[in-house]
């Protein structure tokens, strides 16, 4: 599994709402938000979650998104994984506990099945 996704998450400009962080100065970039939440002990770091993900769902992580709750706090990590069999799946993990909350097939066009 490529560890490059960690750097991409930490540097990525898009927010979970789909708005560009640069478009709204009050919305921090996903990476900034995630680093701050990890520092406060609210969520687990990707370095803890990626081995858990790989143990249950081997493959290549193509994308990582953050899902926010109604208060704007990080609720879940959403991992898009290409399995060795060629299936594209989304694995949702609780950001605070690391428990897998949902697994679904992904449509290559970006729509859930």
Q: Is residue 24 domain-resident?
A: yes
CA separation, residue 85 to residues 57, 88, 90 (Å): 11, 9, 15
Q: Is residue 110 domain-resident?
A: no
CATH code assigned at 31: 3.10.450.40
H or E element at residue 103: strand 100-105
Give the pairing of strands 74-82 and 88-94.
antiparallel
Q: Is residue 17 domain-resident?
A: yes
Q: Where does the pLDDT of residue 3 fall: very low under 50, low under 70, confident under 90, or very high at 90 and above?
A: very low
Domain that holds residue 20: 4-105
Q: Is residue 112 domain-resident?
A: no
Q: What is the pTM assigned to this prediction?
A: 0.70
User: Phi, psi (5° rounding) for residue 103?
Assistant: -130, 130
Tens digits of per-residue pLDDT, 23-51? 444 555 778 889 999 999 999 999 999 99
Q: How many domains does the chain have?
A: 1
Tens digits of per-residue pLDDT, 67-91? 999 998 999 999 999 999 999 999 9
Per-residue model confidence (pLDDT) at position 86: 94
Q: Where does the pLDDT of residue 21 fall: very low under 50, low under 70, confident under 90, or very high at 90 and above?
A: very low
Looking up tokens 């490059």, which residue turns up? 4
pLDDT at residue 103 greater than cutoff 90:
yes
- Burial code (b: 16+ CB inside 10 Å, e: under 16) for 20-33 equals ebeeeeebebbbeb
Q: Is residue 14 domain-resident?
A: yes
Per-residue model confidence (pLDDT) at position 108: 64
Q: Is residue 67 domain-resident?
A: yes
Per-residue model confidence (pLDDT) at position 30: 77
Q: Is residue 111 domain-resident?
A: no
C-alpha span between 86 and 103 (Å, rounded): 16
C-alpha span between 95 and 43 (Å, rounded): 5
Per-residue model confidence (pLDDT) at position 78: 96
Q: Is residue 57 domain-resident?
A: yes
The DSSP 8-state label assigned to residue 91 in this structure reads E
């Amino acid at each position: 599994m490529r560890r490059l996704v960690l750097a991409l998450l930490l540097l990525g400009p898009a927010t979970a709402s789909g708005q560009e962080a640069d478009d709204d100065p009050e919305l921090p970039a996903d990476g900034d938000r995630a680093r701050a939440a990890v520092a406060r002990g609210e969520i687990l770091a990707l370095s803890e979650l990626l081995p858990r993900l790989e143990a249950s769902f081997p493959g290549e992580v193509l994308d990582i998104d953050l899902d926010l709750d109604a208060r704007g706090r990080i609720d879940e990590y959403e991992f898009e994984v290409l399995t060795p069999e060629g299936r594209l799946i989304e694995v949702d993990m609780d950001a605070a506990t690391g428990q897998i909350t949902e697994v679904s097939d992904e449509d290559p066009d970006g729509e859930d099945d």
